[in-house]
Chains A and B, each alone.
Chain A
Amino acid sequence: MIRKKAGMDTEILHQVKYEPAGVVGGYTDRILRVDLSKQKIAVQELPPDFKDKYVGGRGYALKLIWDDTTADTRYDSPDNILAMASGPLGNEPGFPGTGKFIVGTISPLTDTFIDSNVGGHFGPLLKLAGFDALAVSGISKKDVVVLIDGDAGTVSIAAAPAYDKEIDSGALSFGRRLLSDINGGEFSDSFAAVTAGGGASHARFGIVNSLYFDRRRNRIRSKQAGRGGTGTVMRYKRLRAIAVHSSLPRANGNNAVNREGVREAGSQLKEVVSQSDPKQLNLEAWGTTILSEYMDKFHLLPINNYQYGQSPESAQLFARVFYEKYFSKKMPDGCYYGCNLACAKGAEDVELTRGPRAGQKVSIDGPEYETVAAVSCLGIFDPHFVMEYNWYCDEYGLDTISTGVTIAFFMECFQRGFLTARDIGYELKFGDMEAAGRLLHEIARGEGFGKIAGQGVARGKNWVAGKYAARTRTPEQAALAELNKFGMEVKGLEFSMYVTKESLAQQGGYGFALKGPQHDEAWLIFIDQVHKELPTFEHKANALKWFPLIRTWFNATGLCKLPWIDVRNPAAAGTSEPAKNLPTLAHYVKYLNSTTGSNKTLEDVLDDSERLYILQKLINLRQGKGTRASDRIPLRAMGPAFLNEYESRAEYYEKWLQEKLGDGESLPSSPEQRHKLLIDRRMQAYQQLCDIVYEKKGFTSEGIPKRETVQKFGLLDKQADRLLARFGV
């Protein structure tokens, strides 16, 4: 039961009592609804077929958004829903990677559905407290917290406790204090919370932090739902935190139909992970920072806003640096119980040397590869800067990816003369740690140039175009066309941290991703660029259909993808498509069937995912992000946008061009002409890819789902019918 610490200043504004539903076969069949405008709390019972159709996690969030929002809903609309949901397979310590839940909403960056998956204990505890999902709507008149107590059977909306300015504005600080205060001044792993920091009020790329107590480290740790501005939505609703409590045991937390089957599937997957990871990426020791050096080697590490993929300075950001200087070693670091991949690395007692908290020692969770690469994107190769950037972004509640890509975009605007020091207030050069740090803090405070930068790349492009046009008397559209070449966003979301210039398949992986260019739909760079397993458009298109579907399933079920996708089962070598890692997926299908009592094949699982995928596509269509035009990618994603990038790898590009032209045709004489020819070829290839992929996915050539595709998955309700008719389908 929640025990308020003496002196904790929290007024309960509204409370309801409920009888927590037990979990059966992975589900409680209930959604907790909280309306902050009306201060109303309700428990929604789900019909029996709901889970069959929408699975869980992302599927539940999609259905809530589809039914309860409209084309006019924006991130700050009262009817926007902030959904949090695990899935039927979340919460099983006998199986690796089951602490995931998703946070889904209408994004302030993309104006359409976004979700972000995140680890920790919040999803499992929410389910144990009796809810498959939580849906928050409305906007509170004052700052509040929501407290869900599964032991007491109460859900409360309470006034947000006021501590001091520093704690109140910090996502980590506030969450840590709250988690202690609601448990009589102690931390416990039966409590978890999600929080949004003060920085999320000033930027469109605010995150939701997921906080949980790590018994081994004896401290509160955090994971982040980082993409698309979910924290901005939470903060706009004046919802500072949601805390959940349940002291029910985690073992067999899903009350599996076939407990022995779950045990077998879990021990089989754990065996694969323990045998293979130490011989492969060794994520258990290095975390995802290990990717930096491989990305650098293959020209995939974004440097100076993705202009380059490799740098002589990159070695300062390789895993060994973080391992030796920062990570607490020999520590099992799973973000949920039972995960033996244990990749959630962290550090304690790191002294901040910059920014408003300089001199303080802090605990840092991370860095992940994406954060490291967000810093290389700024042309900065200082590992301590990475640690500080990681901590400040988490504390402020900002996405390390979008923050990095946005600052990098403005750095390039400065480099190329689209912005001046007068526009920004200071010089903003690649590699300048002081300037980058200053802008980060300005974004978090909503001050100075930070007010502009906090809007993200898509809106930033328009602002810069206006400034540049006024200063140089250039037509604004012409300026915008130049900025579109290197503004690294699609649908309004900033790219995640991979250079895609040499992988057409991954250009599609980012361009077609329904939420925008985040790699959790498809990461095909190596199988395309290195393994050469996707030699034709047909191969690429098949991969661009299959991988997003299986990855969608992970986001619907409450699972982490890493034990499947980043630990190759040696048995996969004997299969026709090793990259799919099918022997490992067999363990997942067994886990699903044993938990829920279903009898599904992998094909059934993919069909379930495709239903969710099509539903998400319909939402995109309704929100104005669902046609071919929305899948356009910036020139830099396809190849060297400017001559300096071309010249940095001229030999490579000339070889590529010569192969395309064949022996009978010679290269143009000047580098400028060669560069143009290369770009023409790349743009043509991307358009050709669009045609084939749309056909594979059951879309029209404009990227709109065909009526029979929607009907096939039982999604042709009245809203879908009207929507498709509006698009002439």
Chain B
Amino acid sequence: MKKVISIEFFGMQRAVTKTDSICMPVTENMKVTDALEYVRNRYPSLPLDKGMVLITVNQEMVSPDTVLKADDTVLFLPYISGG
């Protein structure tokens, strides 16, 4: 079976991508930066600038060079600090 990760979209991201999530095929040593590039290519108008969102894998913040594995869930999370 093909190995994939899930990339989820929330709020304004969903409005731009018009979907809740997409799957991305994952190969050995693929990193978070690869997922970011994949999304940027597919949705050029999606704002994912550095400093605007942080990236989580399985609900924990990660660095861009974190290696992805099958069934991981990637999220581009805006900064939330509770109002």
Complex alpha-carbon distance, A319 and B14, angstroms: 11
Residue contact B15 to A294, C-beta cutoff 8 Å: no
Residue contact B81 to A523, C-beta cutoff 8 Å: yes
Residue contact B83 to A523, C-beta cutoff 8 Å: yes
Query: How close is A520's CB to chain B, nearest CB, in angstroms?
Result: 8
Contacts of A527 on B, CB cut-off 8 Å? 81
Interface residue A530 (Cβ < 8 Å from any Cβ of B): yes
Interface residue A257 (Cβ < 8 Å from any Cβ of B): no
Residue from B49, B59, B60, B81 whose CB has the most chain A CB atoms within 10 Å: B81
Interface residue A718 (Cβ < 8 Å from any Cβ of B): no
Closest to B12 in A: A282
Q: Mark A543-571, 1 if CB is under 8 A from B, else 0.
A: 00000000000000000011001101111
Residue contact B83 to A320, C-beta cutoff 8 Å: no
Q: Mark A493-520, 1 if CB is under 8 A from B, else 0.
A: 0000010000000000000000000011
Which residue of B12, B52, B83 contacts A276 across the interface (Cβ within 8 Å)?
B52
Residue contact B83 to A570, C-beta cutoff 8 Å: no
Interface residue A422 (Cβ < 8 Å from any Cβ of B): no
Given contacts A570-B50, A570-B51, A573-B50, contact A280 B79 (CB under 8 A): yes
Interface residue A712 (Cβ < 8 Å from any Cβ of B): no
Complex alpha-carbon distance, A562 and B80, angstroms: 10
Interface residue B61 (Cβ < 8 Å from any Cβ of A): yes
Interface residue B53 (Cβ < 8 Å from any Cβ of A): yes
Query: How close is B39's CB to chain A, nearest CB, in angstroms?
Result: 14
Q: Between A and B, how many residue pairs show CB distances below 8 Å?
A: 91
Which residue of A279, A319, A520, A523 contacts B53 across the interface (Cβ within 8 Å)?
A279
Interface residue A532 (Cβ < 8 Å from any Cβ of B): yes
Residue contact B82 to A523, C-beta cutoff 8 Å: yes
Contacts of B25 on A, CB cut-off 8 Å? none
Interface residue B64 (Cβ < 8 Å from any Cβ of A): no
Which residue of A286, A294, A320, A573 contacts B80 across the interface (Cβ within 8 Å)?
A294
Complex alpha-carbon distance, A524 and B82, angstroms: 8
Residue contact B52 to A561, C-beta cutoff 8 Å: no
Contacts of A568 on B, CB cut-off 8 Å? 51-52, 78-79, 81
Q: Mark A272-305, 1 if CB is under 8 A from B, else 0.
A: 0000101111100110101101100110000000
Interface residue A369 (Cβ < 8 Å from any Cβ of B): yes
Contacts of A290 on B, CB cut-off 8 Å? 11
Residue contact A278 to B47, C-beta cutoff 8 Å: yes
Residue from A320, A526, A527, A581 whose CB has the most chain B CB atoms within 10 Å: A526
Contacts of B83 on A, CB cut-off 8 Å? 288, 291, 369, 519-520, 523, 561-562, 565-566
Interface residues of A in 556-614 (CB under 8 A from B): 561-562, 565-566, 568-573, 579, 581
Which residue of A286, A565, A569, A579 contacts B11 across the interface (Cβ within 8 Å)?
A286
Given contacts A286-B11, A530-B61, A531-B61, contact A565 B81 (CB under 8 A): yes
Interface residue A241 (Cβ < 8 Å from any Cβ of B): no
Complex alpha-carbon distance, A293 and B10, angstroms: 7
Q: Mark B68-83, 1 if CB is under 8 A from A, else 0.
A: 0000000101111111
Complex alpha-carbon distance, A369 and B11, angstroms: 14
Residue contact A530 to B79, C-beta cutoff 8 Å: no
Which residue of B10, B15, B49, B78 contacts A570 across the interface (Cβ within 8 Å)?
B49
Interface residue B4 (Cβ < 8 Å from any Cβ of A): no
Interface residues of B in 8-47 (CB under 8 A from A): 8, 10-12, 14-15, 47
Residue contact A320 to B54, C-beta cutoff 8 Å: no
Closest to A296 in B: B10
Query: How close is B15's CB to chain A, nearest CB, in angstroms?
Result: 7
Complex alpha-carbon distance, A298 and B56, angstroms: 11
Query: How close is B17's CB to chain A, nearest CB, in angstroms?
Result: 13
Contacts of B47 on A, CB cut-off 8 Å? 278-279
Residue contact A319 to B49, C-beta cutoff 8 Å: no
Closest to A580 in B: B81
Given contacts A276-B52, A286-B11, contact A532 B82 (CB under 8 A): no
Given contacts A519-B83, A526-B80, A565-B82, contact A282 B51 (CB under 8 A): no
Contacts of B8 on A, CB cut-off 8 Å? 297
Contacts of B82 on A, CB cut-off 8 Å? 498, 519, 523-526, 565-566
Contacts of A571 on B, CB cut-off 8 Å? 51
Complex alpha-carbon distance, A279 and B45, angstroms: 11
Residue contact B53 to A280, C-beta cutoff 8 Å: yes
Query: How close is A642's CB to chain B, nearest CB, in angstroms?
Result: 24
Residue contact A530 to B56, C-beta cutoff 8 Å: yes
Query: How close is B20's CB to chain A, nearest CB, in angstroms?
Result: 9
Contacts of A297 on B, CB cut-off 8 Å? 8, 10, 59, 75
Residue contact A320 to B14, C-beta cutoff 8 Å: yes
Complex alpha-carbon distance, A285 and B13, angstroms: 13
Complex alpha-carbon distance, A293 and B79, angstroms: 14
Residue contact B14 to A291, C-beta cutoff 8 Å: no
Interface residues of A in 428-474 (CB under 8 A from B): none
Contacts of A498 on B, CB cut-off 8 Å? 82
Residue contact A281 to B50, C-beta cutoff 8 Å: no
5 tightest Cβ-Cβ pairs between the two chains A and B = A523-B82, A570-B51, A568-B79, A279-B47, A280-B78
Interface of B toward A, CB cutoff 8 Å: 8, 10-12, 14-15, 47, 49-54, 56, 59-61, 75, 77-83
- Beyond contacts A298-B59, A530-B60: 6 other A-B pairs, Cβ-Cβ < 8 A, are A281-B11, A281-B12, A281-B79, A530-B77, A565-B82, A568-B52
